[in-house]
């Protein structure tokens, strides 16, 4: 895949609660220049960004705690609704490992209801999970209405080639069973084009396309410089 095509799949992130207004404006300027799929910030940093962001770029935010997810579904719903009011197009939520089936489904239901009409990306923290647990978490997220299952936050480990394949396999299974095509977001420790190509090979090996930002995203801001240098 050519560099520009890969950039079009990027979620350009700045997940720093201490980021200044100047830092956020620089993020937007960089995005407007290179046209990634989205920019992603914390929900409390959204105000005014939609007004200066190119309309072709989605505005995403992390809601409900990061890198550790919340168990408070009411607070999560309120945060997502506030993000919608501030112009968010997409919501990233951590599904914290070890929550249990009932609590996980309740959190997913709350997130999906609050984000109706927006793109919902659910982070699974696969570095903390084995294959069975990761695919089980992906299944919960997809059945709960996630538009994307995301490999990890990057703060508790990197995305492995194996994990990329697990998520792609579960997305493919979901499509086979329900007819619904959902997406994979690869994130965590992806710094070079070589890192990316290895992960993309794992995704295509499970029968998914890697050319459409509606179904594949890459959460790796440091990767942009590497792609621009290709």
The residues annotated with a catalytic role in the active site are 92, 150, 185
Cβ neighbours of residue 208 under 8 Å, at least 6 residues apart?
168, 171, 172, 184, 215, 216
Structure tokens of 207? 């029968």
Q: Alpha-carbon distance 57 to 35, whole Å?
A: 7
Kindly write down the DSSP assignment for every residue of 4-67, as one continuous string: HHHHTTBEEE---TT--HHHHHHHHHHHHHH--SEEEEEGGG-TTHHHHS-TTSEEEEEES-SS
């Amino acid at each position: 895949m050519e560099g520009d095509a890969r950039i079009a799949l990027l979620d350009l992130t700045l997940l720093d609660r201490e980021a200044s207004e100047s830092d956020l404006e620089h993020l937007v300027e960089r995005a407007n220049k290179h046209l990634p799929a989205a920019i992603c910030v914390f929900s409390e940093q959204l105000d005014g960004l939609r007004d200066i962001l190119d309309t072709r770029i989605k505005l995403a935010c992390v809601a409900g705690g990061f890198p550790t997810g919340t168990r408070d579904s009411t607070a999560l719903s309120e945060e997502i609704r506030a993000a919608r009011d501030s112009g968010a197009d997409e919501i990233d939520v951590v599904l914290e490992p070890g929550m249990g089936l009932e609590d996980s489904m309740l959190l997913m239901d709350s997130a999906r209801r609050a984000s109706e009409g927006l793109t919902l990306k659910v982070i699974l923290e696969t570095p903390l999970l084995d294959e069975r647990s990761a695919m089980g978490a992906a299944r919960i997220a997809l059945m709960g209405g996630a538009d994307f299952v995301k490999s990890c936050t990057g703060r508790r480990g990197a995305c492995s080639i194996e994990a990329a394949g697990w998520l792609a396999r579960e997305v493919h299974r979901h499509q086979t069973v329900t007819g619904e095509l959902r997406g994979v977001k690869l994130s965590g420790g992806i710094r070079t084009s070589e890192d990316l190509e290895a992960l993309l090979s794992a995704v295509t090996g499970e029968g998914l396309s890697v050319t459409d930002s509606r179904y594949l995203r890459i959460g790796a801001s440091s990767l942009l410089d590497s792609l621009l240098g290709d």
